[in-house]
Amino acid sequence: MMRKIINLNETWKFIRNDEATAIDPTYNDENWESVNVPHTWNAIDGANGFDFFKGACWYRKQILVPSQEKGNKVFIEFHGSNSITDVYVNGHYLGQHRGGYSSFRFEITEVIEFGKINVLAVKVDNTVVEDVYPQMADFTFYGGIYRDVNLVISNHLHFDLMDYGSKGVYLIQEKVNDEQARITIKSRIVNEHDEEKKVRFWADILHASGEVAAYAAKEVDLAAGETKVVEVPVVIENPTLWNGLKNPYLYEAKVSLVSFNDTVDELSIPFGVRYFEVDPEKGFFLNGQHLPLHGVSRHQDRKDMGWAITEKEHKEDMEIIKEVGANSIRLAHYQHSQTFYDLCDEEGMVVWAEIPFISVMSKTELEGINAKQQMTELIRQNFNHPSIMFWGIQNEIQIGGDRPEVRRLVKELNELAKKEDPTRLTTMANVMFVQDKDEYNYMTDIIGYNKYYGWYQGKPEEFAPWLDQFHQTNPQVKLGISEYGAEGILQYHTNDPKVKDYSEEYHAFYHETVWKIFAARPYLWATYVWNMFDFGANIRDEGGVKGRNNKGLVTYDRKIKKDAFYMYKANWSDDKFVHITSKRFVERADDQITIKVYSNCDEVTLYANGVELGSKTSDDHVFIFENVQLQTGINEIKAVSNQEAVTYKDRAQFIKVAQVNSSYTAPDAETCGLVSNWFQMPELEDVDIEELEITDDVFSTRNTIGELLENRETRKIIEKYLVGFSEDHPMFGMAQGMPIDVLASMAEEMFTDKMMYTLNKELTKIKKS
């Protein structure tokens, strides 16, 4: 018998409560809510702030396994359930999966009744616990069975279904070049018969046309109950290489197990062959050709859907990413859906895939068992995707403080990733305050930094000196930018954009400025905009918006592309267009305004109220038209470019008003940025600021929040000046590893020179033990 997959997404029962008796097959669930999966119980409240629901909930479903399947093996397969999942069938406990992002299976053969109704009961809990990652992070942990659920029915002879949720077959690219692709097909084959079996392993490597490119075979003897690892070499001569957006060519590996004349198991695995490297001076190379990686990051949630999205939403996201012209995606901060990895393969995106070892390491489980489990699952389940070239080890794990066990675990995760897959590069995303010479920069093959000059710290222009200094200090380090961005809220507009004003104009100006800096530095192996889309972040409350990170180039619902989207499209895409910026800044109190246009055309002509104002050319895809006169009432603006007998144009409408619209400006309380609502700071009396000597044996603002709260005396000082901030605060986990100096650089309006002097004057009186 051949493997069968039966989808179980339809007709579930759900209750948002911990009903322990729901494991009983006779339990009456008729009053439960009827749902289909994908499903999350946080679809609405997940982006509404701190109080979204976290806890255990239950799902139940009746399943029928046809009587003719008796004698086969039956498994239940979950593609994503967040974050701790306990599975029961007919009252029998099958086991628990810990972690919310990877696929997992349980065998149910011995507990089901073939040809009869069976009851599946599933408890899912999105409570954060000490030994499951992530511990905390700046995104919402949506609870639920949010990806597909299947029954898998197989022969007793089959490719391993219990190998960390993988296919049990790995196409290892030993050596690839333009002339030849040498591959080892590594398979885990299982014999669950009570007697020895002989089986023939067979692999056909097919071109996209269906023509055979290569094949391999091997006879395998399996003892009763044995799982055997079988390796078979195969060579593709003169291969067509998977070459990113230019030619994402996919072969198909049809691997099968044949017993006598029967094919007892078969898998079809799309894959591509390619070779790549990163040079510390020249950046990324794919198949021997330099390829600057123009990257965006993606979270998987969507407004009013949370993580419970379908193939339709995955495809829509990919189309938007293709439109902006990106050629690389950082899939943050966890394992994403197989659907999206498949899309990356098919469309030619270069991918950074990672685990949710993020922000904070457990205080009690110091071996990293769950982080290692999730790393193994990520690699084994995604091994055959040609788009994936980088395995991410950690993201900003330094936020939780400088602990030796954190450094040790990062090294061990790197070693694990290299052992599981020596063919790809390891990487990680360091938090912005990691020093240039810190050993974190030397633990993985390549590194990234999450840097936010121009938003959390300083000005966007400060990227240039930092990048050049880091590269000079570490010429051997392969450096990329794993996150950069600024909040852009479409309600807010200004003629004079400034840091932390949340306006769409600053959002666009920020990306203009930073992209020019990055584009001039070819040693950066990749840069990743944070983020492609706005996303849910329950711990946030800033810019007048609760429960959301607004740094996306596109809104949370995917309906509006912000101006910065078109700035990148102008730089990255060959599809010609013209875009007038600040269209949502409709009401204008000025007699004259400046019109800015983004375009990848050579020349743009501007019209105002039917009158041609002139034409401009640009070397940086930004076209500026100054002193555009506004008439009373409605003004029609048109930008036009004619390229090779094709006309590209865009329109905008501005209304001349007497007074500035106050709703265009963010509330004053919000313009101090993320830190502004973490605590209250008292008014200080005038003081004469004197130079203080700060030595290593005393406390100071160089110490982290966490360190200062651990000491009884310094804790009193923190509680005095950072009123309301303690371990119970929702943002404590994000801040505990930050030195006060770093926190101050993120909120200079609050941490004035007077406040910093006062803090240090009191802290330096206390000796470290």
The whole-angstrom separation of Cα 395 and Cα 414 is 13
* Close Cβ partners of 132 (under 8 Å, ≥ 6 residues apart): 83, 84, 98, 99, 370
Catalytic residue among 323, 354, 396, 512: 396
In 398-454, where do the E strands start and end? Answer: 425-430, 447-450
149 - beta bridge partners? 78
Give the whole-angstrom CA distance, residue 42 versus residue 546: 15
From 723, 705, 163, select the one nearest 714 (Cα to Cα). Answer: 705
Report the C-alpha gap between 674 and 690 in whole angstroms: 30
Give the tokens for residue 451.
């840097």
What is the residue type of 544? G
Task: Give the C-alpha distances (Å, rounded to integers) separating 612 from 608, 616, 637, 641, 655.
Answer: 7, 12, 10, 13, 19
- Asked if residues 399 and 360 have their Cβ atoms less than 8 Å apart, the reply is yes
Phi and psi of 399, rounded to 5°? -60, -35
SS3 sequence, 86-134? EEEECCEEEEEEECCCCCEEEECHHHCCCCCEEEEEEEEECCCCCCCCC
Structure tokens at 30: 């008729």
Tokens 């810190």 — which residue?
438
Strand duo 587-588 + 622-629: pairing: unpaired
Q: Facing residues of 457 across strands?
A: 453
Strand partners, 198: 221
Question: DSSP letters along 591-606, please?
Answer: SEEEEEEEESSSEEEE
Q: Kindly report the CA angle at 123 between 118 and 127, in degrees rounded to 5?
A: 170
Q: Is 401:363 a contact under the CB 8 Å cutoff?
A: no
Phi-psi region of 538 (alpha: psi -120 to 50; beta: other; left: phi over 0): alpha
- Tell me how crowded residue 141 is: count the other CB atoms within 10 A of its CB: 23
Structure tokens at 467: 């990048």
Three-class SS of residue 706? helix
Q: What is the dihedral of CA 390, 391, 397, 402, to 10 degrees?
A: -90
| 512 in catalytic set | no
Q: Which residues are catalytic?
A: 396
